[in-house]
Structure 1
Amino acid sequence: MQPNFSMNFSPQALIFDLNGTMIDDMHFHAKAWYQILNDDLNAALTWDEVKVQMYGKNGEVLDRIFGKGRFSEAEVLELSVEKERRYQKEYFPHLKLLPGLADFLDNARQAGIKMAIGSAAIPFNIDFVLDNLNIRPYFQAIVSADDVTDSKPDPETFLKAAELLGLAPSACVVFEDAPKGVEAAQNAGMACVVLTTAHEKEDFGKYTNILRFVKDYTDSFLQEILPVRV
């Protein structure tokens, strides 16, 4: 079941998850986690098990796998930084926006749409993407893992982004690639566009806030949700 939005629905703000939504990098995150969890911490997880567990804050990933309290705050920080260092080193030669996103960001800005980042990534990773791709000026607000108490599917990330933009949740459309992110948007009362970079449509069957599934930002639907410039 789809939400009851008409085709001329035009949001006042767009909130983007980052990894897997603006860039296609989830394979590299999974590879870094696989190495940390198995080679360094002897978790003996399969590739598929790692992919299922790697959502939310890095400390939450470790808690889910090893149990809460296994690592000190200092150890969590050290493991987190090392995981991101490995991810960035592997991914940097491949770093680029998803097809069509550069033009979409330009068109949204010209149409007067506010934009924000709402990600479970730490600032170290958000800065890595925004600054290496020179896209920071597009965003009026950035909400990272460090800015919230509760990770997705809790709505705090997206609600805080809307608050920073000065808009009601109903005025925002979220771009996500993961079921937990779509659930967070639904919990925030926000419509969502899903990028199918990491998950199949079947993984999102229980959510009712999805406007459209798109492969990338060349999909013509994305131009339809922007207001017509006069």
Structure 2
Amino acid sequence: MIKGLIFDLDGVITDTAEYHYLAWKSLAKKMGIEMDREFNEQLKGISRMESLDLILKHGNKENDYSEEEKIELATQKNEEYKESIKQITPNDLLPGIEQLLKDAKEKGLGMALASASKNGPEIMKRLEIEDLFDGVVDPASLSAGKPDPEIFVKGAEMLGLDVSECVGLEDAEAGVEAINGAGMFSVGVGSKDAMHKADFIVEDTKDLTLDVILERASK
């Protein structure tokens, strides 16, 4: 019996990927590193510091900065990103998500956010959905990021549920691996190639309907 839904944020509830991309691209340029959208795909679903390490490696500059300097660089990127997400409104909810959240709330399902983004609570506030959720896993409390299952296990604990009673929703391969590793039913949003490890795949959020998710998860 499914009693809870645990959501990733970016690419599932809203899409702030463009804001992340532009902020990383701006920082990379200051460091003399060129990055394009194709490279940016590697940064999805991972932490800020892991993203910075990949960019530095990409530009052959992984040994050019101390740990303190890297923290400062990551902070610079986040400040630019935080400035840009101030434009987010409820209109930025992805298609079908508002209905899914409302249907889940009506059915009495628990809902938690499991995002690597430390800005999750701020984005939820701007989307005006924070009241629909029962909890947000703090990424700073994690000992390992996705694909480690810890974030989804903590999400289930936050809802007072066993992992077998929860469904995880993701759009990143590392996220789907984390859900599967936690022992949850996994819903992947994206292409069949990218999401091939998910238990149930939809190509677009508008295809996410609660009844279908619950039916698939109960089989």
Tell me the TM-score range normalised by the shorter chain: 0.7 to 0.9
Describe the SS at the equivalent of 1:105.
Answer: helix
Determine if contact 1:173/1:191 at 8 Å carries over to the other structure: yes
Structure 1 position 189, deviation (Å): 0.9
Report how many aligned residue pairs link the two structures: 208
* Bigger shift: residues 103-112 or 51-60: 51-60
Distance in 2 (alpha carbons) for counterparts of 1:157 and 1:99? 25
TM-score scaled by structure 2? 0.84
* Residue segments in structure 2 that go unaligned for 5+ positions in a row: 57-61
Structure 1 position 48, deviation (Å): 1.5
Determine if contact 2:96/2:208 at 8 Å carries over to the other structure: no
Structure 1 or 2: more helix by fraction:
2
* Residue segments in structure 1 that go unaligned for 5+ positions in a row: 1-9
Which residue does the alignment assign to 2:207?
219
TM-score scaled by structure 1? 0.80
Which residue does the alignment assign to 1:190?
184
Equivalent in 7, 26, 45 of residue 35 of structure 2: 45
Which residue does the alignment assign to 1:28?
19
**Cα displacement string for residues 122-150 of structure 1 (whole angstroms, at most 9, x for unaligned residues):** 1xx11221111221111112113212010
Which residue does the alignment assign to 1:72?
67
Give runs of aligned pairs for residues 171-210 of structure 1, distance below 5 A.
Answer: 171-196=165-190, 200-205=191-196, 207=197, 209-210=198-199
Structure 1 position 214, deviation (Å): 4.0
Structure 1 position 94, deviation (Å): 5.0
Describe the SS at the equivalent of 2:6.
Answer: strand
Distance in 1 (alpha carbons) for counterparts of 2:20 and 2:208? 29
Describe the SS at the equivalent of 1:166.
Answer: coil
Q: Which runs of 4+ in 1 moved over 6 A?
A: none
Distance in 1 (alpha carbons) for counterparts of 2:63 and 2:168? 31
**1:54–1:225 distance in 2 versus 1, CA, 3 Å:** closer
Structure 1 position 41, deviation (Å): 1.8
Q: Which amino acid aligns with 1:18?
A: L
**Cα displacement string for residues 95-140 of structure 1 (whole angstroms, at most 9, x for unaligned residues):** 4111221222111111010000001111xx1122111122111111
Distance in 2 (alpha carbons) for counterparts of 1:76 and 1:49? 20
Describe the SS at the equivalent of 2:207.
Answer: coil
Describe the SS at the equivalent of 1:204.
Answer: coil
**1:65–1:162 distance in 2 versus 1, CA, 3 Å:** same
Matched, 1:126 2:120: yes
Distance in 1 (alpha carbons) for counterparts of 2:52 and 2:116? 15
Which residue does the alignment assign to 1:170?
164
